[in-house]
Structure 1
């Protein structure tokens, strides 16, 4: 079975992933940044210099800088699995994005996030997100 653990926790994790995508689509640092644990790690191996970004503040700063490269970005996310064990979880999701660069170049990457999550004070947050490109830029 692809989904295990408490249903309410799985729903909260799904909402966290939806919040992440909404933050991207709204270009909102506040929304997007709220999805990360303080001591989180982001492995964005497709972007030189962001192969392993440690700490929410550094992750958010790197995301803000990256977003300046794209006047338009849209992200859609599909969930592959969520496994909850107490206050920790693992999950996989798939993304389809459309981005337009400053020079007008269209990018349409498809990717996979492998996640480790933690529940802190009743809120699920990303502890580690590792992005792997499946197709495209």
Structure 2
């Protein structure tokens, strides 16, 4: 265990499975699975895109995602955790993502590398996303 990965192994594996389920849901455009990974009082910080800002509440978060996905029919989304620090029923998580997609309108291949800084919470024995903050690292 390193300073980036702290807390009970069982919790860290469960959080990793949420991240991996998130990626699977994106790749398969599975709205039910994607939505199931968030708590009701969640926040999705997309301030990197000023027109989106911060979206609050599960209904609004899911609606934003569901509305965007039809514009990216050939999206490939991969995730790799860089940090999982569990403290009781709360965890700080950093996940790096890689996306390849066709740009809407131009159909040109686009590639993005980004980072999510997250807060996960354990509710009724299940780890869920409470907040995600998105930052692009590199995009072509």
Q: TM-score, normalised by structure 1?
A: 0.95
Instruction: Give the corresponding residue for 1:26.
Output: 28
Distance 1:54 1:96 in 2: 24
Task: Give RMSD over aligned pairs.
Answer: 1.1
Instruction: Give the corresponding residue for 1:68.
Output: 70
Instruction: Give the corresponding residue for 1:11.
Output: 13
Cα-to-partner distance string for 1:49-86 (whole Å, 9 max, x where unaligned): 32100011100000011112112111111110100011
Structure 2 gap ranges (5+): none
Distance 2:74 2:29 in 1: 9
**Deviates further, 69-78 or 18-27:** 69-78
Deviation for aligned residue 1:102? 3.6
Would the alpha carbon gap of residues 67 and 46 (structure 1) be closer, same or farther in structure 2, given more than 3 Å must change? farther
Deviation for aligned residue 1:34? 0.9
1:118 to 101, 118, 121: 121
1:83 to 69, 82, 85: 85
Distance 2:37 2:52 in 1: 18
**How many equivalent pairs are there?**
137
- Runs of 4+, deviation exceeding 2 Å: 45-50
